[in-house]
Amino acid sequence: MHGLTGERTLMRIFFGESDRCDGGAHRGKPLHDAIVRVLRERGLAGATVLRGIAGFGASARVHTARVLELSLDLPMVVEVVDTEEKIQAVLPALDGMIGGGLVTLERVRVILYRPESAPRGDPSEPSPPSHD
């Protein structure tokens, strides 16, 4: 077990695909790449980059993947789950990297966190309770 189960914090970072890193060691690189690198360098548990098919933000300009309205600036989201302390510690670095966008935090309950090659639990063990 990696110690990440239980109450943790989910951070979502919203920005555009064409955004570049504004500062720090990764200045000028694609923002999604720079964010993932900084999160890894800081030892966070993991990160996932998602590309949206449509969206709009503070500018109210719609970005879409539809052929007739193709945008070169599709919405992107980086998601990371870790302890509140690790998330709070990386926020100042992210603030210096992100020009425009949105960062949100919420509480989550982690049920499972293990690498793909980790041994599976005993099949006779009960699974975690569902909270539907």
pLDDT digits (tens, 9 = 90+) for 11-45: 999 999 999 999 999 999 999 999 999 999 999 99
For residue 116, give Cα distances in angstroms to 10, 39, 58, 72, 120: 21, 20, 38, 34, 9
pTM, two decimal places = 0.79
CA distance 41 to 34: 10
Chosen CATH of 6-110 out of 3.30.70.600, 3.60.21.10, 2.60.120.1440, 3.30.70.120: 3.30.70.120
**In which band, very low, low, confident or very high, does the pLDDT at 123 lie, cut at 50, 70 and 90?**
very low
* pLDDT, the chain, mean: 85
pLDDT tens string 84-99: 999 999 999 999 999 9
- Locate the domains of the chain by residue range: 6-110
